[in-house]
């Protein structure tokens, strides 16, 4: 079995924080990048943040300075610390991992109320 297991989503007030986590469950080897995408109602899925096995990161402009992605390679686990949350951050957040294939989590709902 190969899968990604997400946790940490929920309902939070504007200005609050959440920490998402995602770990591999099963046999995924030689992972290169891990990261997070999100999809809001009526919108295309978009990149939020990505981190390579070497620690290089990339962020969407809309979250830069507020979100921080990190990774524990030994556990193939990726985290997304989300601070200063805004209502426009409301979306389903999907974990992502890549080797020669792409893997996706089921998604976790993040709702930010005003």
Burial class (CB in 10 A: 0-12, 13-18, 19+), 54: exposed
Query: Which of 98, 66, 90, 92 lies closest to 80 in space, CA to CA?
Result: 66
* pLDDT single digits (tens) 58-98: 999 999 999 999 998 776 899 999 999 999 999 999 999 99
* pLDDT single digits (tens) 16-60: 999 999 998 767 888 899 999 999 999 999 999 999 988 999 999
Rounded CA gap, 94 and 81, in Å?
Answer: 14
């Amino acid at each position: 079995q190969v899968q990604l297991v997400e946790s940490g989503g929920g309902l939070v007030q504007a200005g609050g924080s959440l920490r998402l986590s995602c770990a591999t469950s099963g046999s995924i080897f030689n992972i290169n990048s891990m990261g997070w995408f999100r999809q809001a109602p009526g919108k295309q899925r978009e990149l939020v943040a990505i981190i390579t096995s070497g620690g290089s990161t990339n962020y969407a402009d809309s979250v830069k300075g507020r979100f921080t992605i990190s990774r524990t390679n030994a556990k193939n686990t990726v985290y997304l610390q989300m601070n200063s949350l805004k209502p426009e951050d409301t979306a389903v957040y999907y974990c992502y991992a890549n080797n020669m294939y792409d893997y996706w989590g089921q998604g976790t709902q993040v709702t930010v109320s005003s």
